[in-house]
Structure 1
Amino acid sequence: MKENIIDVLLYLFENYIDTEESHKPDKDALELELEQVGFQELEIHKALDWLENMTVLADQPVTQHATMRVFSDNEKERLDVECRGYLLFLEQVGVLDVETREVVIERVLALDTDEIDLDQLKWVVLMVLFYQPGREVAFAWMEDLVFEDMEAVIH
């Protein structure tokens, strides 16, 4: 039986990300499908709430300033050094901007898990970028990175 919110989110993302709008199931059908796959009702509801609360940035000019991000104790507990370093890397190469980085951190904290690993963080970044207007290039870059990592594990 599948047990955590990120598993539900990954299932939804992998199965419905490229689906045409007319082929997407309604919420009730989706909940039923997820239950039939083996997800628990509580985790399904938490995952759907997580998606509904996805922050979408308004189309406004982004003012990038050299900033230093100081992580709170709670953030450090949930994001280890490797994850925090990866967020910094993504920001330095332009995949994340300051605002999108904050959305990623907020979405990670919204997951019902004590700690998130690097692979899970990459999927959260991918989901956040998918929902951000004007971030298509960053999404494509991140998608390539995530799927390249998956292929490396498979081979």
Structure 2
Amino acid sequence: MFEVLVFVYENYWRGDACPEPQHLGRKLSAAGFESDEIAQALTWLAGLNSATLSTGMIHVPAEIALETAAASPPLAPAADSLRIYSVAEQDHLGADCLGFVSFLEAAGVLPPHMREITLDRAMATGGDPITLDELKIIVLMVYWSFGEEPDALILDELCDDTEGRLAH
């Protein structure tokens, strides 16, 4: 499924530029993807679209989204609040993925509403625990669904292969 998501990300600049699911399914089939992968990806993308629409913050840059969240106290988390992950989230995401989510939050590039969509979509993958590379694809797709591109340094971090890195 993740190969299909990468294909969609690379070929459609934003979520609203993506064709309707039936047409997209035909394009993906013509590109050589298996029908079960396509079905999984289309279901996953429908959930992403639904989650994005439910925020009411489509096409709002992350910086503005953070300000908007701060301006609506009943819905915005307090500055000193802490996100507690369920056992199921901890098991499915693992320490590396949860650490990466914390890194993005601390860097100020993953506002709370995008974090929650990221976690929701990560949990929607089902099956085996997800890898860090799969989580990075999910984060890219969440940005994509809001019609924005992450900051260049964050984009580099999301697209970088960490296996070849050496710790200093």
TM over 0.5: yes
1:58 maps to which residue? Answer: 56
How far apart in 2 are the matches of 1:19 and 1:100? 15
Q: Tell me how far apart the structure 1 counterparts of residues 144 and 22 of structure 2 sit (CA, whole Å).
A: 23
SS for the counterpart of 1:81 is: helix
- State the match for 1:7 in structure 2: 3
Task: Name the counterpart of 2:151.
Answer: 140
Match of 1:112? 126
Distance 1:34 1:144, change over 3 A: same
Instruction: Let me know the Cα RMSD of the aligned residues.
Output: 2.8
| Residue 53 of structure 1: how far off its partner (Å) | 1.9
**Distance change (3 Å), C-alpha of 1:37 and 1:126:** same
In the TM superposition, what are the counterparts of 1:71-86 in structure 2 within 5 Å?
71-86=85-100
Q: Cα offset for 1:128?
A: 0.5
The answer for unaligned runs of 5 or more in structure 1 is none
Matched residue of 2:69: which SS?
coil
Contact 2:15 2:144 in 1 (8 A): no
| Structure 2 CA distance for partners of 1:152 and 1:20, relative to 1, 3 Å | farther
Higher relative contact order (CA 8 A, sep 6+): 2
Instruction: Please give the TM-score of this superposition, normalised by the length of structure 1.
Output: 0.76
Q: TM-score of the superposition, structure 2-length normalised?
A: 0.71
Letter in 2 for 1:145: E
Aligned AA (1:146): L
Asked whether the 8 Å contact 2:93–2:131 carries over to 1, the reply is: yes
* 1:124 partner SS: helix
Match of 1:45 in 2: 39
Check the 8 A contact 1:6/1:111 in 2, yes or no: no
Are the structure 2 counterparts of residues 96 and 20 from structure 1 closer, same or farther at C-alpha, using a change threshold of 3 Å? Answer: closer
Equivalenced residue count is 143
2-structure distance, mates of 1:90, 1:120: 15
CA contact (8 A) 2:117 2:142 kept: yes
Q: Work out whether residues 4 and 33 of structure 2, in 8 Å CA contact, stay in contact via their aligned partners in 1.
A: yes
Q: Return 5+ residue gaps in structure 2 as ranges.
A: 58-64, 71-76
Alpha-carbon distance in 2 for matches of 1:126, 1:146 = 7
Identity over the aligned pairs, expressed in percent? 31
State the AA in 1 paired with 2:146: Q
How far has the Cα of 1:44 moved from its partner?
A: 0.8
